[in-house]
Amino acid sequence: MTKEALVCWVGGRDLDASRGISDKPGPILSTLKERPHAKVHLLYNYDRDEVHAYGDWLGAQVNVEIHLHEADLSTPVHYGDIYQAASKLMKALSAEISFEDMSVLISPGTPQMQTIWILMCKTAFPAAMLEASEEQGITDFIMPFDIAADYIPNIRAESDANLRRMAAGQAATPPAFESIIRQSPLMNAQIMKAEKIAKRDIPVLILGESGTGKEMFAEAIHESSSRADSEFVVVNCGAIPQDLADSELFGHKKGAFTGAVADRVGRFQEADGGTIFLDEFGELPADTQVRLLRVLNDGTFTRVGDKGRIKVDVRVIAATNRDLMAEVVEGQFREDLFYRIAVGIINLPSLREREGDLMLLTDKFLKDINEAELDLDSGYKHKKLSAKAINVMKSHGWPGNVRELQASLTRAAVWSVGETITEREMREALLERPAKAGDLLGRSLDNSFDIQDVIKELKRHYIKKALAETGNNKTKSAEKLGLNNYQTLNKWIEDVGLKE
C-alpha cells in the first residue's frame, strides 16, 4: 500500500548516487522503489544547488512529488539544531497528514540525526520508521522497548518530585548530594556544577582548602553517575611513599623490587569499571605523573616489573588544596597532566565564605555528637551552645573548615561540665594558631562577628611576637610596637588577656 509521505534527511550516499560517484542508488531511492510513497519531504544542510540537482535526479528515477526543506544547522551533529529542524517539519506535516500515513527513513544523515528521529517518533510524532541497508534492504525499524511507556513516566515522576522539593524550599538535587548540608549560594552553585559533571564520563578536579569536603563531593559525583554500581576506590596520594607510588597505583610483578614477594593488583585495576578518587593529587611524584597521563589518554598502563599492558575503564576524580596552576607555571607540576585532569572543575568554598552555613552545620554536628555521647554514657548531659559561645564561633576564622568545626564541637561537648557550652569552654575547644593578615583582613561578613575580638586577636599576636624577640623585655617590646612606654604595653597585655 502506497503511503502518503516519506520524511528523511538527505545523506552523503544519496548525493554520491546522483553524482555518479557511487553505483549504489542510495537509501532514499532504494526506499522509494521498494516502499512507494506519494510524496517525499527531504531535510538537508548541504549546498542548496547540489541538493536541488539531487531532487531533479531523484524525480527522474521515480514518480514522486518532491519537497526540499533547507535546515540551518551549526553542525550536522548538533542535537539541538537537528531537533528544531526535524520537529518544525513534523509539526507542519502533521497538520495535513496523519502519522499512520507517514514514514520516516532514519538511515540517511549523521548518527545524531538518527537518534533524534527515534526519540521523536517514539514520543511526540508516532510515525513508522524505516531502515535502509545493503545487506537487508528496506526494513521496518523495531525498537525492543517503548520509550514513551518505559521512560517518559519515570522522567515525569522525577520532574514532579523536583517541583515538590522546590515548592517546599528544598533543592532539587540527586540523593547523593542531599547529605551535603548547605544553604549558601556559593555551595549550591558548586553542587549544580557537580550534578552536571556527574552525568558526563569525564575526569574531574576538585579544588579547595583542607576540610572543605572534597571526598564527600567526589563520592556524590560517583553515586550520581552511570558507574554508581561499580567500585569507588579512594587513594590518599600524600600518604604513599614516593618510591612506591607506581606500585600502589598500577601494581607490580613478583620480584620487581626488594620486598615484592608476590604479584600485586594496583588501585587502578581495582577500580576497573568504576571511579578512582586521587586525594592530595598534587603530591604525586613526577614519574608517576607521566604514567597517570598515559592512563588518562588511552586507559592503559604497565605494572612495575611487567611488560604487557593492562587496559582499564576508570573514571578519575582528583582533589588538591594546592595551587596547581601556579605550580604548572613554576614547572613543579606537569602542564599536560593538569589540563588532562582539569576537564570538570569544582571549586569548593571555605566555611568562612559559605553564607548561613555555619549554624546549619553546627546544629547538625551537635545533634550527632549528643546522640553518640548518649550511646556511650547514659549520664551524659545533652549539650547546647550559649549565645556567647555562638558569637565566639562566628568570630573564628575556621582555617580547618568543616573538619575543624566538627572536631571543635566534639571537644567542647566532651569538656563542658553543664548542659550549656559556655564562651570560655568554646574558646578552649578552638585550636589557636599564629594569626595571618589574610585570616584577619579576609574575614567574611556572611556571619556577624565582634570586631573588637578581631582587634584583640591582632594585638595578642604582635605582643607575643615582640616579647619573644626581645626576651620578654617590655621596654624594648613597647618600642617595637610603637607604644609610648612599657606601662601602656602592660595595659594592652591585660586587655587582651595575656597577663598571668
Tens-place pLDDT, residues 272-288: 999 999 999 999 998 89
Q: What is the mean pLDDT of residues 478-485?
A: 88
**CB-based contact 24:17 (threshold 8 Å):** yes
- Of the two residues 277 and 432, the one the predictor is more confident about is 277
Window from 79-93, 331-345, 371-385, 434-448 with minimum mean pLDDT: 434-448
Torsion of CA 473, 477, 478, 479, to 10 degrees: 110
Q: Retrieve residue 222's grid coordinates.
A: 560517583
Condensed to tens digits (0 to 9), the pLDDT of residues 182-226 reads 888 889 899 999 999 999 999 999 999 999 999 999 999 999 999
Q: For position 165, what pLDDT does the model report?
A: 47
CB atoms under 10 Å from CB of 298, counted, come to 9
Position 380 pLDDT exceeds 90: no
Whole-number Å distance between alpha carbons of 244 and 247: 5
Position 158 pLDDT exceeds 50: no
Give the contacts of 406 (CB within 8 A, at least 6 positions apart).
361, 365
Least Cα distance to 247 among 182, 291, 192 occurs for 291
Same fold, 3-148 and 169-349: yes
Q: For position 126, what pLDDT does the model report?
A: 87
Condensed to tens digits (0 to 9), the pLDDT of residues 282-329 reads 999 988 999 999 999 999 999 988 888 999 999 999 999 998 888 888
- Determine the topology of domain 352-441 in CATH: Helicase, Ruva Protein; domain 3 (1.10.8)
Percent of the chain with pLDDT over 70: 89
Window from 16-25, 173-182, 227-236, 334-343 with minimum mean pLDDT: 173-182
Please state the separation of Cα 440 from the chain's center in Å.
32
Domain ranges of the chain: 3-148, 169-349, 352-441, 452-495
Whole-number Å distance between alpha carbons of 384 and 422: 9
Whole-number Å distance between alpha carbons of 5 and 67: 10
Whole-number Å distance between alpha carbons of 404 and 360: 15
Condensed to tens digits (0 to 9), the pLDDT of residues 249-277 reads 998 888 888 888 888 889 999 999 999 99
Q: Retrieve residue 47's grid coordinates.
A: 549546498
> 3-148 architecture in CATH?
3-Layer(aba) Sandwich (3.40)
Q: For position 236, what pLDDT does the model report?
A: 94
486-495 vs 451-469: helix crossing angle, rounded to 10: 130
- Of the two residues 58 and 257, the one the predictor is more confident about is 58
The radius of gyration of the chain's CA atoms, rounded to the nearest angstrom, is: 34
Q: For position 435, what pLDDT does the model report?
A: 46
- Of the two residues 299 and 377, the one the predictor is more confident about is 299
Q: For position 444, what pLDDT does the model report?
A: 52
What's the mean per-residue pLDDT of the chain? 85
Q: With residue 41 as reference, give the H or E element that holds it.
A: strand 37-44
Q: Retrieve residue 451's grid coordinates.
A: 570586631
Return the CATH class of domain 169-349.
alpha beta
Q: For position 169, what pLDDT does the model report?
A: 47
Partners of 235 in the β-ladder: 278
